[in-house]
């Protein structure tokens, strides 16, 4: 051995040995940790996708499903965590929409929520409003049950949103009325191609008073036809009723009912007697008369009357039973047997108002004065109304699709209970997120546990 080689070997003896086993073990632990974290991330991503887009591969509902539309004999509150109308599977056309002040009809800050019932089954959906908006007055269902129109936007950009229950898409109709701060839908045309909308316009910067503007608007937002422009009054354009075929429209401002054509030209107008109002969206009869609702003085008894739309004079009487003990009624339309279908507002016992005394209609249907609602059939020559649909307390407003009313079909309902699809989706997601956080915080212990298991398995294999 040469002197140079001896010196080299002596120097190498001082170099620390490479920790082969320890480095291999650390590498294995890192690999396992990465695998666990990737698996958790994949599970969370899958759960999030399922929660946000439930059943995304489910095809959209068939619009033809509405041919079997029927009225459920009762409705209930939406399930906790109910799917939204924009979730899949799509709901399709609806038979009923409803709102109120029950816990499941209010959001986290008492924001209004609207419930939607399928046209041919007991499937429920919801959509948030962000504020209280009674259906049938501010949120309205199209005649075929496919669309829901609701007020939306802001003071700087008031609009009406039209939600398609078949596709889940929303169409926005931005107001074209100058200086409008709020736009509300009032009525659908019979073919569902147009809406009557009501705009509120301040008269001065302090907004001490307003004027109101009624327009007929096509769903593409291209054509706005003005019906009225007048000072705000307790009753303004509510209700609005289209005649069959859509050639004429009747609306009430204050104590005056006006009949106009589809181009906005006034055809006639007449004053209403005390304690009488335009009956509702179903106010036109098949023979061209108009229907009023009237309250008998000193009572809470209500009845329907026919008048001539040209002058408001009494027409042939309606041989229909009256409705007693309610704050008001609203006419939805007529069934195939000639029955008039009305929404009856049950009084709130704790209300400070007296309903046997004069009171404006919008006050009579205000949430604070209503305990619940029913849909009644007033059948010709019957002695009393027949209940078609009931609702639990604190469901305070309903609207029914015109096609459901005219078809006259009802069904025994079995509303869903328990919890809805969003509850399960978010529940699974939250569970997986918590599990993922737990795995990450305990990753070192988990890696050691996995290594111990591997060593024990290797030891047992060596002993065999």
- Per-residue model confidence as pLDDT tens digits over 53-108: 443 333 344 444 445 899 999 999 999 999 999 999 999 999 999 999 998 898 76
Spatial distance between the Cα atoms of 251 and 239, rounded to a whole number of angstroms:
6
Q: Which residues pair with 141 in a beta bridge?
A: 148
C-alpha Rg value of the chain to the nearest Å: 33
pLDDT score recorded for residue 6: 64
Within 209-364, strands assigned E span 210-218, 224-231, 236-242, 248-253, 256-261, 266-271, 276-278, 290-295, 302-307, 328-334, 340-347
Spatial distance between the Cα atoms of 420 and 125, rounded to a whole number of angstroms:
9
pLDDT score recorded for residue 265: 97
Q: Which residues pair with 84 in a beta bridge?
A: 126
Within a 10 A sphere around the Cβ of 128, how many other Cβ atoms? 13
pTM: 0.81
Contacts of 12 (CB under 8 A, 6+ apart): none
Contacts of 206 (CB under 8 A, 6+ apart): none
Look at 48-57, 101-110, 305-314 and tell me which has the smallest mean pLDDT.
48-57
pLDDT score recorded for residue 423: 46
* Higher pLDDT among residues 25 and 93, named by residue: 93
pLDDT score recorded for residue 109: 62
Question: Considering the domain 64-412 in this protein, what is its CATH number?
Answer: 2.120.10.30
Query: Which stretch of DSSP H or E encloses residue 378?
Result: strand 370-378
**Is 29 a residue whose pLDDT tops 70?**
no
What is the average pLDDT score of the chain? 86
* Higher pLDDT among residues 311 and 441, named by residue: 311
Going by C-alpha positions, the residue among 186, 211, 144, 209 that lies closest to residue 283 is 186
SS3 helix, strand, coil % of the chain, rounded to 5? 25, 35, 40
pLDDT tens-digit profile of 232-246?
887 877 789 999 999
Going by C-alpha positions, the residue among 154, 161, 158 that lies closest to residue 175 is 158
* Higher pLDDT among residues 136 and 234, named by residue: 136
Domain coordinates in residue numbering, the chain? 64-412
pLDDT score recorded for residue 58: 35
pLDDT tens-digit profile of 249-261?
999 999 999 999 9
Spatial distance between the Cα atoms of 373 and 458, rounded to a whole number of angstroms:
73
**Is 48 a residue whose pLDDT tops 60?**
no
């Amino acid at each position: 051995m040469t002197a140079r080689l001896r010196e080299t070997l002596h120097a190498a003896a001082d170099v620390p040995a490479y920790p082969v086993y320890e480095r291999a073990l650390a590498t294995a632990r890192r690999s396992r940790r990465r695998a666990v974290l990737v698996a958790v991330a994949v599970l969370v991503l899958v759960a999030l996708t399922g929660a946000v887009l439930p059943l995304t591969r489910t095809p959209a509902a068939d619009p033809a499903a509405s041919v079997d539309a029927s009225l459920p004999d009762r409705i209930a509150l939406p399930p906790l965590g109910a799917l939204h109308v924009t979730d899949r599977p799509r709901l399709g056309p609806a038979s009923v929409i409803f709102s109120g002040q029950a816990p499941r009809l209010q959001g986290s800050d008492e924001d209004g929520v609207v419930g939607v019932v399928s046209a041919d089954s007991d499937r429920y959906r919801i959509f948030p409003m962000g504020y209280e908006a009674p259906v049938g007055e501010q949120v309205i269902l199209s005649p075929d049950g496919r669309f829901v129109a609701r007020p939306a936007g802001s003071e700087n950009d008031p609009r009406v949103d039209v939600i398609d229950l078949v596709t889940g898409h929303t169409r926005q109709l931005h107001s074209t009325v100058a200086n409008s701060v709020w736009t509300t839908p009032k009525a659908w045309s019979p073919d569902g191609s147009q809406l009557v909308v009501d705009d509120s316009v301040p008269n001065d910067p302090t907004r001490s008073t307003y004027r109101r503007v009624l327009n007929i608007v096509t769903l593409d937002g291209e054509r706005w036809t003005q019906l009225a422009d007048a000072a705000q009054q307790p009753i303004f354009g509510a209700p609005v009723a289209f005649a069959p075929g859509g050639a004429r429209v009747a609306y009430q401002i204050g104590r005056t009912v006006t009949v106009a054509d589809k181009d906005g030209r006034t055809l006639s107008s007449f004053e209403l007697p005390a304690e009488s109002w335009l009956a509702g969206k179903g106010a036109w009869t098949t023979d061209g008369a108009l229907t009023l609702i009237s309250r008998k003085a000193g009572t809470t008894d209500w009845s329907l009357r026919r008048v001539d739309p040209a002058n408001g004079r009494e027409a042939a009487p309606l041989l229909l039973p009256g409705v007693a003990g309610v704050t008001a009624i609203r006419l939805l339309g007529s069934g195939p047997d000639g029955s008039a279908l009305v929404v009856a507002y049950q009084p709130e016992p704790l209300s400070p108002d007296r309903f046997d005394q004069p009171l404006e209609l919008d006050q009579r249907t205000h949430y604070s004065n209503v305990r619940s609602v029913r849909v009644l059939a007033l059948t010709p020559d019957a002695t009393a109304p027949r209940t078609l649909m009931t609702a639990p307390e604190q469901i305070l407003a309903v609207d029914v699709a015109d096609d459901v009313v005219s078809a006259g079909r009802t069904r025994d309902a079995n509303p869903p209970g328990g919890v809805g699809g969003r509850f399960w989706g978010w529940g699974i997601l939250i569970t997986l997120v918590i599990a993922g956080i737990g795995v990450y915080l305990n990753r070192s212990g988990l890696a050691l546990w996995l290594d111990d298991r591997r060593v024990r398995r290797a030891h047992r294999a060596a002993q065999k």
